[in-house]
């Protein structure tokens, strides 16, 4: 079970959080202008790297805030967390 | 072996009644089942799984490969190591042949405890003790765990010192599971989150491989010494076969205790070539390693063997900690580090003796030379595996099953790797060793489940009105974690009769339902309307204050995901309801969009699902009921039109909201009050309704009533593959504003005209009810695979229609109105006709009462 | 148990500089693909490149549930094709893979489950897939150790039963198909990691490996949990996420459970293997991972749920827990077909349920690699479906599609 | 022997949910109304106001109404009447920490979770607001009513744990 550093509440057990997949995937500015390929990329495609990964979590059973986490998908080591809207800091 | 008159760590003043295989044997506090068996002269304690050979006690600890027994009392447990079973009064155990027996549920109390510390020290030996003391002295919060039974010293208030406790698994970020044997029957699992983990788990001994090495009487040398020093057990005649100094010391200790000992030292070029005996060890053949044929027979009852030592690194391995081969000590030692974990003492390899590198003694019969006693794997098996072309130790493991037993091959793996390396002509360091996995020692399902059994397994959510439902005979339906009244059978009624009665009451009189489980979300802020516009398929900026609007939510893929009613309470405040099952998901979904995509919107969301209890009052006489309950409100159509609400008070002190919404097509209202007044509200409305013959109804009736009107239930008439257009709900899908999922509706497949569409079905025989889930075909005579054009999503008997009817998703359904479809079932074919999905009051005349 | 395996499995040849077809990934899907390329299409100049050891991934980490009772026509067709292959596999491969059609129960615990179960049974039958709906009494009769007490938290309301479903011995299957492929001339190359994929003029030409460059007429990717990473070497994106899926095994026990039991609602799927151990799968861990391990709370919850349904298991011990890396698709259905790169094909996204599919998956993928276009059975399982929206969404049918 | 702790049901305390940016004018007006500062250190309590998030608080047992709060906010932020949304359970006694330790993953050591601390976490798998009460070893749990029976069952079970 991961120990996840919520940027607001500090380190808490994974069970308090919900996973949100890859970070930095924005909703298309104008969805209606996206062609089928572009739209499918937004809806169904997400980065899936082996190694360092910027991902989203929400402190579901804590402060209910979404945030980003940098975690290694091969070791589960967490490098740090940062707020939604910020660039990767870790 | 016999028990010495004194010595050992035993309480000889007490004799325990222990039953082995139906026979009473003697034991003292301090004994294990294994030591008691040895003291009683019992050497064969199990039969091997595959070859059916007699097996004895090999070790004095957790590395035991052979002595797995069934314990029947005081707590029945299959397949436990006799070396780990503490002797207690009333212990009943029996031999096994590798297969345990399950003796029913385990209702013993196994507790769970979460704990946090700065340092967790695993192991109560010298190195562990030093680490624990040092950490405690530094003022750190310490947990110190030792699997043996002796109490650990007290290290102060902030130290938790647990004996009889095994660390069974190490997980990410230093979460370590400890199992404490609280008593002979109870376990407590500690889940310890540690800043640092210190492994002082020591080492265990490894046997040597030679013909007949599985005979009862062949034991690890260190175990022989433990049985002597701790349990005061000594053999008459023993042979000690060693590759290292530890074995030599054991020989001296046995000799000092009065045994006749022959030392066979591989370092001096000698080996035991074979062990002999029928059912138990009688003698061994000793020969020079170089010339195994020159063997000499030595009689003995015990053969103590030491092939070397292996650091116990399971917890390190659970965390993918590395190991490397250490040639002088002939074992795998830690290599590299795991974050926030240290390994100390013999677990690091420190202090382990150098050994003569010997695994397989040449010259004996390989088919009787056991590499893995637990799985009956011999050298012959390894030779076959390598001969079959296998080069990876993992393949050898799967071909032979070496190392896959209850003991995870603790005493077998290194020998297997070394022998396989020899056969492949490679180095053991290249071959490596297969990894160990949690748990370190077997943990029962019941211990892992802990207290989450029976009534504590998962929450049962009920509303404050639940007791009333129970008292009025409701049958309940599970909806998510909620128990909702499904229907209220009266004496003599079956479900059909009850539902027909409840439906009739709602259509002709007045009926009430507990609707409190619907999700409720308070939405505040100046951008609330814009926020709702972006999520719902229809518009909310156009909703006037004081009015309600039905809304649909789609996922980004355009598929319907929830629905509900949105009420505009104030210019910048809305109140949205969700389905019962979707409540948490919808709030989460809204928060996700708000926080991650549109943080600029000034909107705040709060779950008020349990702040408010809601009662639906339905039927032509609902206005009468509510007029009597809420005299201050003018319930006339003109004063209180459809899709509006009125705030008032209930019992003079509780705020109450009456909304005029209808999920049945009838004149209907929903009344909400704070949940602490929910029961009072129900009782109050019930009382007001009694003169009107009010009837309570459940979810089934609610479903029938809405289906008669063609209203969908998300999750029943949809399955994640249905768009609003498929449901015929184009009227609620904005053409002018963007919303989540809208773009998906114009993809080639979602825009196809021949998608499955919601339609009504009327069975040709009005008494036949189609099965929900029935598949629909055009040609009932077609042979499989039959072309299916859709399926029945909802199907009921209708009191109002006096017949059965159904809703279905049918390919090009709206083009098939009036056409026949067939449902081939196990009991024959049912014919039905496709119709519009609105069966009752299509003109909407009943809505206003 | 070595006696149950043959004397010769395969040899380990040095890789050639070029093959007609190179398959990346030596698990069940890759090995079956190679075998059917040789057996059905006469294409034997084939190499299977495996980074570690054959079958070392999900092939030997899964719980070996085999069934074909999927909801949608496309799924039922491909899984039923696979099940039919299973039924002839021991004879075809001349190997005792312990395939045992002991029946698979999928339990229903609420009205929604029951509705979905009936729907699936009806669809299965019309698709020619054997299926029955059992009520609670029927479940009790078929599998007496299931707790059918109506008072438990999630009572058993009924179940679907596929009698032809069952289990097999996973490592025997790997040995069997690898031996058969090698026997037909396929090169099984272990310890061979693909580090690059050469694409020229929009077509694949070769793969780079730690053992040198290997030219290929066509390349088939069967890398399961590592599919995204391997496809990425050719610049191909996949709608795949890799997650841990944990499983566990008990000690050997006297026979107690005679069929496979699955419950999506409480995340239990369990069978008792031939040797006697209980084999049980847990729910998927939510986060992306290539670490082949998951979180303890998943196992903990799994045990509590298991004992709700099987109180008799309370005294059994967990001997080992482990995890595989499952490649999960948005619609819980696989991707088997072409990519934007010519002559590069992909077979992935089997998620939590790939083992049962391995023969069928290999069969259609071999056809696809041989013809350069999909077979009728895998035509719908294309990458394009994520653009057109023609998904094959098995989520509704089974939240955890084992 | 059982654990030395008691469980008490304390009904519905008055609760108001507050959302406001902590450095805004509106926050200042709310503080004026409250007569105390909003706690800005995460997971702390001040003057009956519990920190729930960087812009979220729960005001417990204060003589205030939603209308008053909305008035102070004047359109910036949000206020919601929540008195009926959660009810209070109190666990107290020397063994209170052990009782919660049986079903709550949070570190409740007094050095970490002493007086003035609160947290939103899981107890028996259910979301609760947990607050350290007074100087003694006691905790208040604010639980949604439909989950209260479940949480209560776990706590009572933990109290009954033999030594």
Looking at the DSSP bridge assignments, the partners of residue B237 are B260
B111 reaches D (C-beta below 8 A): yes
The share of chain B scoring above pLDDT 90, in percent, equals 98
D90 to each of B532, B622, D52, how far by Cα in Å?
Answer: 39, 42, 19
- Hey, how many other C-beta atoms are within 10 angstroms of the C-beta on B243? 24
Helices B245-256 and B221-229, interaxial angle, to 10°? 30
Q: Where are the beta strands (DSSP E) in C41-193?
A: 46-49, 104-108, 132-135, 158-162, 187-189
Collapse the DSSP code of D137 into the 3-class scheme (helix H, G, I; strand E, B; otherwise coil) and give the result: coil
B630 sits in the region (left: phi over 0; alpha: psi -120 to 50; else beta) called beta
Min distance D49 CA to chain A CA atoms (Å): 15
List the single residue in D78, D153, D161 with the smallest CB-CB distance to B111.
D161
Distance CA D65, CA D73 (A): 12
Task: Please say whether the beta carbons of B506 and B617 come within 8 A.
Answer: no
Mean pLDDT of B104-119: 96
CA B116 to chain centre: 23
Which helix (DSSP H) or strand (DSSP E) does residue B245 occupy?
helix B245-256
CA angle B167–B169–B170, rounded 5-degree value: 105
Reported as a single tens digit per residue, the pLDDT across B579-594 is 999 999 999 999 999 9
What is the pLDDT, as a whole number, of residue A4?
A: 98
Mean pLDDT of B553-571: 97
CA C46 to chain centre: 22
Q: Is B802 exposed, middle or buried (0-12, 13-18, 19+ CB in 10 A)?
A: exposed
C130-138 long-range contacts (CB < 8 A, ≥24 apart) are C130/C162, C130/C163, C130/C164, C131/C69, C131/C160, C131/C161, C131/C162, C132/C160, C132/C161, C132/C162, C132/C163, C133/C158, C133/C159, C133/C160, C133/C161, C134/C105, C134/C158, C134/C159, C134/C160, C134/C161
Q: Which residue of B has its CA nearest to A32?
A: B743
| pLDDT above 50 (res C399) | no
Q: In 3-state terms, chain A is what percent helix, strand and coil (to 5)?
A: 15, 35, 45
Reported as a single tens digit per residue, the pLDDT across B645-693 is 999 999 999 999 999 999 999 999 999 999 999 999 999 999 999 999 9
| Sign of the dihedral through C-alpha B75, B80, B81, B82 | positive
Residue C206, C-beta contacts closer than 8 angstroms, at least 6 positions apart: C18, C197, C198, C213, C214, C215, C216
What is the pLDDT, as a whole number, of residue C398?
A: 41
Residue whose tokens read 């159904």: B806
| pLDDT above 90 (res B150) | no
Collapse the DSSP code of C60 into the 3-class scheme (helix H, G, I; strand E, B; otherwise coil) and give the result: helix
Distance CA B538, CA B576 (A): 14
Reported as a single tens digit per residue, the pLDDT across B72-84 is 999 999 999 999 9
| pLDDT above 90 (res B15) | yes
Distance CA B801, CA B121 (A): 74
Length of chain B: 849
Task: Please say whether the beta carbons of B543 and B566 come within 8 A.
Answer: yes
**Rg of chain D in Å (alpha carbons):** 16
Mean pLDDT of C287-313: 94
Min distance B610 CA to chain A CA atoms (Å): 16
C233 reaches A (C-beta below 8 A): no
Distance CA C256, CA C270 (A): 12
Distance CA C35, CA C42 (A): 10
Mean pLDDT of B732-745: 95
Intra-chain end-to-end CA distance of chain A, in Å: 22
Contacts of B191 in chain D (CB under 8 A): 105
CA angle C276–C277–C278, rounded 5-degree value: 125
Mean pLDDT of B434-463: 95
Distance CA C130, CA B22 (A): 49
Mean pLDDT of B797-811: 97
Collapse the DSSP code of B259 into the 3-class scheme (helix H, G, I; strand E, B; otherwise coil) and give the result: coil
Contacts of A76 in chain C (CB under 8 A): 289, 291, 293
**Rg of chain C in Å (alpha carbons):** 21
CA angle C339–C344–C350, rounded 5-degree value: 65
Task: Please say whether the beta carbons of C83 and C46 come within 8 A.
Answer: no
What is the pLDDT, as a whole number, of residue B222?
A: 97
Min distance B126 CA to chain D CA atoms (Å): 29
ipTM: 0.96
**Subunit contact D157:B456, Cβ cutoff 8 A:** yes
Optimal mutation site among B722, B773, B778, B825, interface C, most CBs of chain C within 10 A: B773
Structure-token pair, residue B828? 């024959």
Helices C111-126 and C73-93, interaxial angle, to 10°? 60
Task: Please say whether the beta carbons of B287 and B361 come within 8 A.
Answer: no
Distance CA B540, CA B279 (A): 86
Task: Please say whether the beta carbons of B374 and B65 come within 8 A.
Answer: yes
Q: Which of B489, C274, C275, B452 is nearest to D124 (CA)?
A: B452
Confidence band, pLDDT 50/70/90 cuts, at residue A89: low
- Cα-flanking dihedrals φ and ψ of residue B221, to 5°? -60, -45
Alpha helices by DSSP H, listed for B473-564, are 495-508, 528-535
Optimal mutation site among B588, B610, B647, B655, interface D, most CBs of chain D within 10 A: B610
What does pLDDT average to over chain C? Answer: 95
Confidence band, pLDDT 50/70/90 cuts, at residue D2: confident
**Subunit contact B455:D153, Cβ cutoff 8 A:** yes
Confidence band, pLDDT 50/70/90 cuts, at residue B766: very high
**Subunit contact B387:C8, Cβ cutoff 8 A:** yes
List the single residue in A8, A16, A64 with the smallest CB-CB distance to D42.
A8
Looking only at Cα atoms, what is the longest distance across chain B?
115
Pairing of strands C187-189, C194-200: unpaired
**Rg of chain A in Å (alpha carbons):** 14
Confidence band, pLDDT 50/70/90 cuts, at residue B547: very high
| pLDDT above 60 (res C402) | no
Residue C291, C-beta contacts closer than 8 angstroms, at least 6 positions apart: A73, A74, A75, A76, B320, C244, C323
Reported as a single tens digit per residue, the pLDDT across A10-32 is 999 999 999 999 999 989 989 99
Distance CA B677, CA B651 (A): 9
- Hey, how many other C-beta atoms are within 10 angstroms of the C-beta on A86? 12
Q: Which of B93, B76, B78 is nearest to B17 (CA)?
A: B93
Reported as a single tens digit per residue, the pLDDT across B375-391 is 999 999 999 999 999 99
**Subunit contact A9:D122, Cβ cutoff 8 A:** no
**Subunit contact A84:B595, Cβ cutoff 8 A:** yes
Confidence band, pLDDT 50/70/90 cuts, at residue D137: confident
Pairing of strands D49-53, D56-60: antiparallel
Distance CA B793, CA C291 (A): 42
Residue B487, C-beta contacts closer than 8 angstroms, at least 6 positions apart: B474, B475, B495, B498, B499, B502, B697, B698, B699, B700, B701
What is the four-CA torsion angle of B165, B169, B174, B178, rounded to 10 degrees?
A: -20
A5 reaches D (C-beta below 8 A): no
Length of chain C: 402
DSSP string, C379-401: TTS-TTHHHH------TTT-SS-
What is the pLDDT, as a whole number, of residue C400?
A: 35
**Chain D touching partners, 3 or more CB pairs below 8 A:** A, B
Task: Please say whether the beta carbons of D125 and D147 come within 8 A.
Answer: no
Assess whether the previous peptide bond of B666 is cis (omega < 30° from 0): no
């Amino acid at each position: 079970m991961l120990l996840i550093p919520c940027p607001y509440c500090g380190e808490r057990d994974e069970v308090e959080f919900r996973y949100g997949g890859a970070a930095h995937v924005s909703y298309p500015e104008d969805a209606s202008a996206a062609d089928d390929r572009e739209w499918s990329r937004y809806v169904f495609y997400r980065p899936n790297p082996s190694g360092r990964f910027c991902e989203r979590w929400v402190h579901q059973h804590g402060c209910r805030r979404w945030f980003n986490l940098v975690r290694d998908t091969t070791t589960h080591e967490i490098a740090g967390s940062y707020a939604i809207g910020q660039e990767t800091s870790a | 072996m016999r028990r010495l008159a004194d010595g050992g760590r035993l309480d000889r003043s007490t004799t325990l009644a222990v039953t082995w295989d139906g026979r009473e044997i003697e034991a003292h506090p301090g004994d294990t089942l294994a030591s008691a068996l040895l003291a009683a002269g019992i050497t064969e304690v199990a039969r091997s799984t595959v070859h059916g050979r007699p097996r004895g006690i090999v070790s004095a600890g957790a590395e035991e490969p052979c002595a797995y027994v069934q314990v029947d009392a005081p707590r029945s447990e299959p397949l436990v190591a006799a070396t780990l079973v503490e002797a207690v009064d009333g212990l009943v155990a029996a031999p096994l042949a590798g297969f345990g027996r399950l003796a029913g549920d385990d209702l013993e109390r196994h507790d769970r405890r979460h704990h946090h510390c700065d340092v967790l020290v695993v192991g109560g030996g010298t190195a562990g003790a030093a680490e624990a003391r040092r950490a405690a002295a530094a003022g750190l919060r310490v947990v110190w765990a030792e699997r043996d039974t002796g109490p650990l010293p007290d290290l102060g208030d902030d130290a938790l010192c647990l004996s009889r406790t095994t660390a069974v698994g190490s997980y990410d970020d230093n979460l370590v599971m400890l199992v404490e044997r609280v008593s002979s029957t109870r376990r407590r699992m500690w889940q310890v989150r540690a800043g640092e983990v210190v492994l002082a788990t020591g080492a265990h001994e490894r046997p040597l491989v030679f013909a007949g090495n599985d005979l009862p009487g062949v034991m690890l040398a260190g175990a022989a010494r433990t049985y002597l020093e701790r349990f005061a057990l000594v053999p008459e005649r023993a042979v000690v076969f060693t590759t290292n100094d530890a074995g030599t010391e054991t020989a001296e200790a046995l000799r000092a205790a009065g045994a006749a000992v022959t030392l066979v030292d591989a370092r001096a070029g000698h080996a035991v070539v074979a062990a002999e005996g029928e059912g138990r060890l009688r003698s061994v053949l000793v020969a020079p390693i170089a010339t195994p044929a020159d063997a000499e027979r030595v009689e003995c009852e015990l053969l103590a063997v030491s092939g070397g030592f292996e650091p116990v690194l399971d917890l390190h391995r659970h965390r993918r900690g590395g190991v490397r081969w250490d040639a002088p000590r002939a074992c795998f030692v830690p290599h590299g580090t795991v974050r926030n974990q240290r390994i100390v003492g013999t677990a690091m390899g420190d202090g382990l003796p150098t050994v003569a590198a010997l695994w397989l003694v040449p010259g004996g019969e390989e088919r009787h030379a056991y590499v893995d006693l637990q799985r009956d794997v011999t050298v012959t098996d390894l030779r076959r595996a390598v001969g079959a072309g296998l080069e990876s130790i993992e393949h050898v493991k799967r071909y032979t099953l070496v190392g896959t037993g209850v003991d995870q091959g603790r005493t077998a793996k290194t020998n297997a790797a070394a022998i396989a390396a020899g056969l492949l002509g490679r180095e053991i360091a290249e071959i490596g060793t297969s990894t160990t996995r949690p748990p370190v020692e077997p943990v029962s399902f019941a211990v892992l489940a802990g207290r989450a059994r029976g009534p504590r397994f998962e929450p049962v959510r009920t509303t404050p009105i639940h007791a009333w439902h129970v008292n009025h005979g409701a049958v309940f339906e599970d909806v998510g974690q909620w128990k909702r009244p499904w229907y209220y059978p009266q004496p003599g009624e079956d479900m059909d009769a009850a539902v027909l009665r409840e439906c009739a009451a709602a259509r002709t009189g007045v009926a009430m339902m507990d609707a409190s489980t619907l999700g409720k979300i308070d939405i505040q802020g100046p951008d609330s309307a814009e926020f709702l516009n972006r999520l719902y398929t229809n518009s909310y900026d156009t909703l006037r204050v004081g009015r309600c609007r039905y809304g649909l939510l789609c996922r980004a893929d355009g598929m319907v995901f929830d629905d509900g009613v949105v009420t505009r309470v104030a210019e910048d405040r809305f109140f949205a309801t969700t389905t019962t099952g979707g409540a948490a998901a919808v709030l989460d979904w809204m928060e996700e969009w708000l926080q991650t995509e549109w943080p600029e919107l000034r909107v705040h969301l709060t779950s008020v699902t349990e702040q408010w209890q809601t009662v639906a009052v339905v039927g032509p006489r609902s206005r009468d009921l509510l007029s009597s309950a809420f005299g201050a409100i003018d319930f006339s159509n003109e004063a209180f039109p459809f899709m509006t609400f009125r705030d008032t008070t209930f019992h003079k002190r509780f705020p109450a909201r009456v909304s005029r919404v209808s999920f049945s097509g009838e004149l209907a209202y929903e009344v909400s009050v704070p949940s602490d007044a929910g029961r009072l509200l129900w009782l109050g409305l019930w009382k007001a309704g009694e003169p009107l013959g009010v009837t309570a109804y459940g979810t089934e009736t609610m479903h029938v009533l809405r289906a008669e009107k063609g209203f969908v239930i998300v999750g029943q008439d949809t399955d994640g593959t249905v768009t609003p257009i498929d449901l015929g709900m184009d009227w609620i899908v904005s053409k002018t504003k963007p919303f989540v999922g809208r773009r998906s509706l114009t993809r080639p497949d979602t825009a196809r005209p021949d998608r499955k569409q919601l339609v009504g079905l009327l069975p040709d025989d009005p008494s036949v009810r189609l099965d929900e889930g029935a598949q629909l075909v055009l040609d009932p005579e077609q042979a499989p695979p039959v072309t299916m054009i859709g399926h029945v999503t909802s199907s009921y008997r209708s009191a109002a229609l006096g017949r059965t009817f159904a809703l279905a998703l049918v390919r090009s359904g709206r083009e098939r109105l009036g056409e026949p479809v067939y449902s081939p079932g196990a009991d024959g074919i049912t014919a039905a006709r496709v119709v519009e999905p609105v069966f009752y009051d299509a003109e909407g005349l009943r809505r206003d009462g | 148990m070595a006696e149950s395996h043959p004397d010769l499995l395969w040899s380990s040849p040095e890789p050639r500089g070029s093959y007609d077809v190179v398959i990346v990934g030596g698990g069940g899907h890759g090995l079956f693909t190679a075998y059917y390329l040789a057996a059905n299409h006469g294409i034997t100049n084939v190499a299977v490149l495996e980074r570690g050891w054959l079958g070392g991934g999900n092939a030997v980490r899964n719980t070996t549930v085999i069934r074909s009772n999927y909801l949608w026509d496309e799924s039922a067709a491909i899984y039923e094709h696979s099940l039919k292959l299973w039924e002839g596999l021991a004879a075809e491969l001349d190997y005792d893979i312990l395939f045992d059609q002991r029946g698979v129960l999928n339990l229903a615990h609420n009205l929604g489950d029951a509705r979905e179960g009936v729907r699936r049974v009806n669809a299965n039958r019309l698709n020619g897939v054997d299926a029955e709906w059992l009520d609670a009494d029927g479940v009790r009769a078929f599998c007496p150790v299931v707790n059918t007490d109506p008072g438990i938290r999630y009572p058993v309301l009924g179940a679907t039963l596929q009698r032809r479903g069952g289990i097999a011995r996973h490592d025997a299957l790997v040995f069997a198909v690898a031996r058969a492929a090698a026997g037909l001339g396929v090169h099984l190359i272990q310890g061979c990691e693909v580090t690059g994929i050469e694409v020229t003029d929009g077509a694949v030409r070769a793969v780079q490996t730690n053992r040198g460059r290997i030219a290929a007429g066509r390349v088939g990717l069967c890398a399961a949990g590592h599919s995204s990473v391997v496809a990425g070497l050719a610049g191909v994106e996949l709608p795949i996420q890799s997650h841990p899926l944990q499983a566990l095994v008990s000690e050997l026990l006297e026979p107690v459970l005679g069929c496979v039991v699955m419950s999506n609602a409480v995340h239990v799927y369990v069978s008792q293997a031939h040797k006697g151990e209980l084999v049980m799968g847990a729910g998927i861990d939510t986060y992306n991972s290539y670490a082949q391990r998951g979180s303890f709370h998943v196992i903990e919850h799994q045990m509590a749920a298991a004992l709700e349904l099987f109180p008799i298991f309370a005294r059994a011990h967990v001997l080992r827990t482990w995890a595989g890396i499952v490649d999960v698709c948005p619609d819980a259905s696989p991707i088997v077909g072409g990519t934007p790169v010519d002559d590069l094909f992909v077979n992935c996204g089997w998620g939590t349920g790939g083992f049962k599919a391995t023969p069928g998956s290999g069969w259609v993928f071999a056809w696809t690699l041989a013809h350069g276009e999909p077979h009728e059975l895998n035509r719908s399982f294309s990458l394009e479906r994520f653009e057109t929206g023609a998904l094959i969404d098995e989520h509704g049918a089974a939240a955890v599609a084992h | 022997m059982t654990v030395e702790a008691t469980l008490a049901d304390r009904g519905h305390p008055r609760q108001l949910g507050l959302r406001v940016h902590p450095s805004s004018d509106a926050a200042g007006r709310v503080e004026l109304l409250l007569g105390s500062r909003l706690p800005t250190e995460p997971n702390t309590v001040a003057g009956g106001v519990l920190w729930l998030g960087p812009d979220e608080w729960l005001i417990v047992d204060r003589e205030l109404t939603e209308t008053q709060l909305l008035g102070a906010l004047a359109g910036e932020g949000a206020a919601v009447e929540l008195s009926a949304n959660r009810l209070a359970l109190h666990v107290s006694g020397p063994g209170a920490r052990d009782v919660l330790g049986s079903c709550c993953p949070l570190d409740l050591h007094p050095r970490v979770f002493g007086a003035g601390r609160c947290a939103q976490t899981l107890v028996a798998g259910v979301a609760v607001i947990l607050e350290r009460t007074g100087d003694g070893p006691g905790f208040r749990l604010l639980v949604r009513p439909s989950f209260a029976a479940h949480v209560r069952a776990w706590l009572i079970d933990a109290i009954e744990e033999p030594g």
